[in-house]
Amino acid sequence: MTGAALSTQRGWCTFEVCGRDYAVDVASVQEVLRAQPLTRVPGAPPAWTGLLNLRGRIVPAVDLRVLFGVAPERAPAAGGALVVVRSGEGPLALGVDAIGDVHRGADTRLEPWPEAGGERGGPDAALFAGVLAAAERLIGVLDLERVVERAFERPASASRRTPGDPS
């Protein structure tokens, strides 16, 4: 199976957002930073928390907590980390709660996202490239291009919030 063949070559960088584990392909990760002050962009979609100065390069930052609808708009980045990934539109900083580790080797496999949809089927399922079947738990692997698309969607469709929103 191709998935198994790939798993021996690919690695996954995991991180935590609101107590859940997620991962991105380690090859797409440029660097990991501590959370730092961002410049707010008035009029930006809610998940676009601001702009980051990355050694002179200006990089947009997207807060995954807001994107997943588990935190109110523009949560203050208390603690946390920024995962800078390469996307089709250039580097993008993902705001997360904590960095996990890098999974590599035979103990991990990328499985397709279950078609029937699990507990979090629906619109968010589109954000995932698949499920990482690690030895001890399952981790959602993000599809970066879809994340970028969702993050920069104009607020016309911003009313789509998860019903269980804590606010």
Partner 1 sequence: MEPLDDSILDDFLVDSHEGLERLDRDLVALEQASGRSGNARDAHAAEALSSAFRSLHTIKGTCSFFGFRRLERVAHAGESLLADLRAGRLELTPAIVDGLLATVDAVRGILTAIESTRHEPDGDDAALFAQLAPWRRAATAPAEKAPAATAPRPELRSGTPAPAATALQQQYLRVDVRRLDEIMDLVGELVLARNQLVQSVTSVAGSPVAAAAQRVDHVTDRLQDEVMRTRMQPVSALWARLPRLVRDVATACGKRVRLELSGDETELDRTIVEALKDPLTHLVRNAVDHGLEDAAGRERAGKPAEGVLRLRAYEEGGSVHLLLADDGAGMSLARIREKALTRGLTDRASAERLTDQEWLQFVFLPGFSTAAKVTNISGRGVGLDAARAAIEAVGGEIDVRSAAGTGTTFHIRLPLTLAIIPALTVEQSGECYVVPQAHVLELVRCGEGSGTARIETVHDRPMFRLRGELLPVVSLSRLIGAAARPGAPAADAAADARHLLVLSAAGVRIGLAVERVRDTEDIVVKPVGRRLRESGLFAGATVRGDGRVALILDVHAIAGRSAAEHAAQVDTAAGAATAAHAESDRRARAIPLLLVRARRGVPAAVRVAEVERIVEFESGAFERLGERPAVRLDGEVLPIRSLDGDPLLAGPEALSGDRPWPVLVHSLGGRRQGLVVDAVEDIVEWDGGLPHPAARGRAASGGAERDTRIVLNDHITDLVTLSGDARGAA
Classify 142 as helix, strand or coil. strand
Is 157 an interacting residue with respect to partner 1 (CB under 8 A)?
no
Binding-residue total with partner 1 (CB under 8 A): 23
Nearest by Cα to 95 from 57, 54, 62: 62
Q: Are the C-beta atoms of 95 and 80 separated by less than 8 Å? A: yes
What binding mask, one character per residue, do residues 26-65 give for partner 1 by CB under 8 A, x or -?
-----------xxxxxxxx---x-xxxx-xxxx-x-----
Q: Which of residues 60-89 bind partner 1 (CB under 8 A)?
A: 60, 89
- The residues, ordered by sequence, that sit 6+ positions from 56 with a Cβ below 8 Å of its Cβ are none
Residues forming beta bridges with residue 34, ordered by sequence position? 81
| Closer residue to partner 1 in complex, CB, 30/125 | 30
- Residues binding partner 1 (CB under 8 A): 37-44, 48, 50-53, 55-58, 60, 89-90, 152, 154-155
